[in-house]
Chain A
Amino acid sequence: MNKAEFIAELKDRLAVLTDEERQDILDEYEQHIDIKVMRGMSEDAAITDFGRIEELAADILEAYHVRADYAVAEKGKKNRGAGFGGRFGRRGFSESEGANAETADDGTCEAEEGFAYGATGWLDRAYESTWNGLKNICHGTWNLCRKIGRGICCGVDKTGKLLGTAACSLIALCRKPFHKENVSAAEEYETEPVRQESNGRRRERKNAMKAEAHFSLGRAIAGFFRACADAALWCLRWMWNLFCIGTGLLFGFGSCMVVFFMGVLVVLLVLGYPLAGVTIGWLGLTMCMVSVTIWCFSMMIGGRKRRAAQVSGTDGSSATAVICEAENAGILERTEEEEEEMIHA
């Protein structure tokens, strides 16, 4: 047998492998023969040193975790055996490696063929059904998680809105007596002189002073509580923002470190180290860290822009809450003169 015949025969026996894999191994044998020929050996002698070509092909297929009997059945097909048959042919061989290797050495693989094909067909179907089942389970779980997530988000959103409205209504209720008191005092201040103008200027002046004192006290108490509420809200907002910034910076630094190590892992992976699993895990960690960082910064409570957007985009039901918030922030804060004008009006 010459080199060309040997290569053609081997190529035929390795048909189950991909073109790339097959060419790779054939190049090695071709080069081996060439070197031997270069050193004075004949082609035939060089090929004889490889032993029986059936055993050689079986050894090569074993290296790719392909069963020799499966390769015989698949001879002529270019693809690598779609479905579980191909996969099992590759993986399953290593499990029964000892027994099969021995039979391959003796050249008695044929005895196992019938059982092997039957088992492969059954396993192929089992694999397909298991795969489909797993796919359905994953799909169902994903949909369920999405629904639960949406439900939770919706619930939190609604609860937040409800609580916000309730709080603002409560604040408005607390303020109401002061406003009423002011208005009634002002009315008294306005109407009293008209009613009692004829009773003399002395009494009028006395009543006016009394009303003014009452009005100022109410305003002062209301202003004090309003200032306290504003200060408390401001403090809370800044504490929250500082917490978000701190956490965001911490996770941002962590993200940078994780991204750096991710790069190192990718380089090592490209160099051929078996780090695929670690790299995928690390990629997940990187994405988590970056997401948490972005989330932290997005959780900061905005300033005037956000409130302005809320004011412009509110409907009737939440108008009270927004106006309360806007008042707390000082957007709709009225000056004393304006308030007096409103009371007069």
Chain B
Amino acid sequence: MNAQFKKGVLELIVLESVRVRDMYGYELVEEVSKVVDVNEGTIYPLLKRMTNEHYFETYLRESTEGPPRKYYHITAAGILYRDNLEKEWNEFSGKVNSFLEEQKRGAL
């Protein structure tokens, strides 16, 4: 998949994943990797940026497999931002799809 496409939708995927349930970094990387093939390292900076922008808040939870893990929880601002992103994505993808359909019909 085109790297710019991935970059554009990555925020929406991350926000939606954390909205469903709180997740820690590695878990989130696995979740996102199911949808888009993305470099693992890029998720953490994204999480950090979105935490700095108050879309996420973090807390530590004890783990049986090692040291405590940092969980990400979506905030009210994050939910609003996610809704906006979803709306924009739907409009954008809808317009692109309709344009492609029209072009196909014209070609036929």
Contacts and interface: CB of A to CB of B under 8 A. Distances in A.
A274 interface: yes
B67 A59 contact: no
Given A28-B70, A272-B57, A273-B75, A60 B25 contact: no
B39 interface: yes
Contacts of A55: 41
Contact of B48 (A25, A31, A271): A25
Nearest to B40: A49
Interface in A268-283: 271-274
Nearest to B50: A63
A271 B65 CA distance: 28
B19 interface: no
Interface stretch (A32-40, A111-119, A194-202): A32-40
B44 A31 contact: no
A56 interface: yes
Nearest to B44: A28
B45 A63 contact: yes
B95 interface: no
Interface string B15-53: 000000000011001000000000111101111110010
Contacts of B96: none
A51 B66 contact: no
B46 A51 contact: no
B100 interface: no
A64 interface: yes
Say what secondary structure dominates the interface of chain A. Answer: helix
B77 interface: yes
A278 to B, nearest CB: 12
Contacts of A29: 41, 44
B41 A63 contact: no
Contacts of B76: 273
A56 B41 CA distance: 6
Given A25-B44, A31-B25, A35-B65, A273 B70 contact: no
B29 A38 contact: no
B54 interface: yes
B3 interface: yes
Contacts of B75: 272-274
B10 to A, nearest CB: 11
Contact of A32 (B29, B39, B52, B77): B29
**Residue from B39, B41, B42 having most chain A Cβ neighbours under 10 A:** B41
B77 A273 contact: yes
A300 B26 CA distance: 67
A28 B25 contact: yes
24 contacts: A24-B48, A25-B44, A25-B45, A27-B70, A28-B25, A28-B44, A28-B70, A29-B41, A29-B44, A31-B66, A31-B69, A32-B25, A32-B29, A34-B66, A35-B26, A51-B39, A51-B41, A55-B41, A60-B48, A62-B45, A63-B45, A63-B46, A64-B52, A273-B75
Given A36-B26, A56-B41, 14 more contacts: A31-B67, A31-B70, A35-B65, A38-B66, A50-B40, A51-B42, A60-B44, A62-B49, A63-B46, A105-B3, A271-B57, A272-B57, A274-B75, A274-B77
Interface of A: 24-25, 27-29, 31-32, 34-36, 38, 49-51, 55-56, 59-60, 62-64, 105, 271-274
Which 5 residue pairs are nearest across A and B when measured between Cβ atoms? A50-B41, A63-B49, A63-B45, A272-B57, A59-B45
